A and B are shown apart, each in its own frame.
Chain A
């Protein structure tokens, strides 16, 4: 019998030289680079968001003034495109090959290309905002600007189109790599039904991305030609506007759901690992995630409250339906915790925070359905409460859970708790302030508008929430940087939690080739099967060489 590799916690290993990142094919380093870039963009987007919120505390223009639309567009674009989706891609690039026992990705050089394209494309997008505000177009706008007949070129807009297209293409290539990896490279015995939930969610995310992102690229192509050559496709209402809304939102609406989908898979793995038992119902959880992915494609439409928006009848019922698979996943996780022997870990706190925040958002959705909403600020708050907030919470949960594999050492529990409180509290406060302002009829995207009696209070709540979120992001970033800088020193145990899946079957951090040996896979929890078999051997004393 081949023995499992000996565990050596506390040992020191030499980390690779930083300069080798430019020519590496190690999926783990590439995944970390994706994560690092996403966190850097998160900091940029978060600080800009805080400035926007601070501007809205008091009536009148304080300091953002003429740059408010520019900052608003920058915050929306960075937060939507450059943060959460690439972070999940980075995490998946690192963890999925470990979970499936592949030890490598299908196309490592393509992943490296996607990484650099993402970083450079994101930088190009930021440059576009520095050169001059891209006129009108931004992911905060459901209607692009008109082409300029006569051909005068707006360089900021075309630069932004180029940058966003690069990021979208990078996401597409990285997703292609992940899907092919999961489909074709798995340890012997690991069928798709035995793939861990985070990998299953990553597969679904990748498939939807492959289908939805090209439509966005098609819309960007039309917009680019219109801008570059002074066309009139998007000038008037009617045909052009509808096309843009379709091409933007076939990408945009699934994108909002896809920010959450990998997190739901990660939550399932986190709960199962720390409960010490398999999920209550693997098939139910898989089916729920699959339905979530299908609904993301079906529920596309422009957001509410946008002038001349094309609101499709598919939007409302299918958006409401998405609560069903999410609720099912939450129930499965709660049942698993109840039946297992959970050990409190900071990642579980973040998962609990996600449930709280999502519930808070669902509550306000129900309230809005009853009382009606006048102000667009409600939609802004709702987006942060049900999409960005939960996604960030689950991302943080995943980082704290898989830190031994990512960095070779666990992140700080104390810092984790601080980050959790600040993140959850921040999104709750910001959401509450926006919701209340929305009920009051406050608009969104404007630096100044007439306040009602409580406008300052609501603005203050939201600004305080934004500040807390930035504190959380800084705390998380500092913790991650510290762990990365000390990677290789005093490394963690191979399996600090008594894990169930294959990523815990290798060292922390894994060697460049990821695995020396892999356990035979006979179920979705191969390590649990091994431990049970070993325990049974000890009891019976039979079957030993």
Chain B
């Protein structure tokens, strides 16, 4: 009933039990005894598992007058075909292991790659089954792979392109970024047009093209990320306007901007009640709103951005406290630009 392999493992179980008992009496050290016990349990389990028909260990009786041994054709089923997904899975495990050591992002990438590799590997196994007919393959493809895989692959591709190209664009100069974007778009368009013009293109050529594209894009993206973003400078006159609300009063009474230019306002609320900054053309309930900043309670800071209204005099107020107001001047573009945020004494009326 039990094969030689099972008997071997049962013998190992007996040896491990004996060692556990002897070790326990002599040393009385828990870890060692526990490990020996587990060796015994594992070996016994394996021995039982390998018993019976699991491990064939039979040979026919050969009578003394039997004819001499002869050559015979092999009857084993052929080796299943190999797959490149094993290498991909190993790469994924490497990324996972290295990522666990140094960077969780790398580990996450490895996990995603491992999922892809496992899926490809399993698909290869399932295709070997006699039940896997072209019809089944078509149904699985249309009902599962295409509805799920295609959107995921599309989103992934979009993220890959956006992520990689954005790193490049943020690294090169402003004009260079325009050139790069134009070149990348042209290359993608040209490559797709070329592929579309060749209906009989071999899949290996497509794969090679895709691999080259992915490698160069990812490589350039990594290079861009390592090089770092270029410095972004604000143009002259775009210095943010700083306004502070404290004790239900603004710290400035007049704000001056240039008509048509973007306005960047850093608003700090030092009270624990709601304040905001809003700009109106005129005063009173009939005044026409130009800009209404989001209100918030302190202590907090927000940055408001809006375009300066046409040249003229306006009023800036707090929508929550009618006594908080000041003058908002929008100068014509040709006029000289006085310093922003003039008049420092608090003005609460």
Contacts and interface: CB of A to CB of B under 8 A. Distances in A.
| A/B contact in complex, CB under 8 angstroms | yes
A299 to B, nearest CB: 10
B82 A112 contact: yes
A120 interface: yes
A124 B98 contact: yes
Given A23-B82, A224-B100, A102 B76 contact: yes
A174 to B, nearest CB: 12
A106 to B, nearest CB: 10
Interface size class of B (residues with CB under 8 A): 35 or more
B68 A533 contact: yes
Given A116-B90, A120-B90, A207-B9, A23 B74 contact: no
A109 B86 contact: yes
Interface stretch (B31-39, B259-267, B307-315): B31-39
Nearest to A123: B94
Interface string A102-116: 111100111011011
Contacts of B39: 211, 297
B115 to A, nearest CB: 15
Contact of A4 (B26, B71, B97): B71
B84 interface: yes
Interface stretch (A38-46, A190-198, A439-447): A190-198
A104 B79 contact: yes
B6 to A, nearest CB: 10
B102 A543 contact: no
Given A121-B97, A162-B100, A166-B97, A108 B57 contact: no
Interface residues on A, range: 35 or more
Nearest to A30: B82
A191 B90 contact: no
27 contacts: A1-B70, A22-B87, A26-B79, A26-B82, A108-B79, A110-B86, A113-B90, A115-B90, A116-B91, A120-B90, A121-B94, A124-B97, A158-B102, A162-B97, A189-B59, A189-B60, A290-B11, A294-B15, A297-B16, A312-B32, A516-B74, A517-B71, A517-B74, A518-B73, A520-B70, A520-B72, A533-B68
B42 interface: yes
What 3 A-B pairs have minimum CB-CB distances, sorted nearest first?
A533-B68, A116-B90, A25-B82
A112 B4 CA distance: 29
Contacts, number: 194
B72 A517 contact: yes
B145 interface: no
A15 interface: no
A22 B31 CA distance: 43
Contact of A191 (B15, B31, B58, B83): B58
Contacts of B241: none
Nearest to A118: B90
B134 interface: no
Q: Is the interface of B mostly helix, strand, loop or mixed?
A: helix
Contact of A211 (B43, B54, B70, B83): B43
A165 interface: yes
A27 B97 contact: no
Interface stretch (A47-55, A242-250, A424-432, A473-481): A242-250
A25 B80 contact: yes
A215 interface: yes
Contacts of B73: 2, 516-518
Given A162-B97, A290-B11, 9 more contacts: A23-B84, A112-B86, A116-B87, A207-B46, A215-B35, A297-B15, A516-B73, A520-B69, A522-B62
A59 interface: no
Most A CB contacts (10 A, CB to CB) among B16, B57, B75 go to: B57
B208 to A, nearest CB: 13
A314 B19 contact: yes
A290 B8 CA distance: 8
B4 A188 contact: no
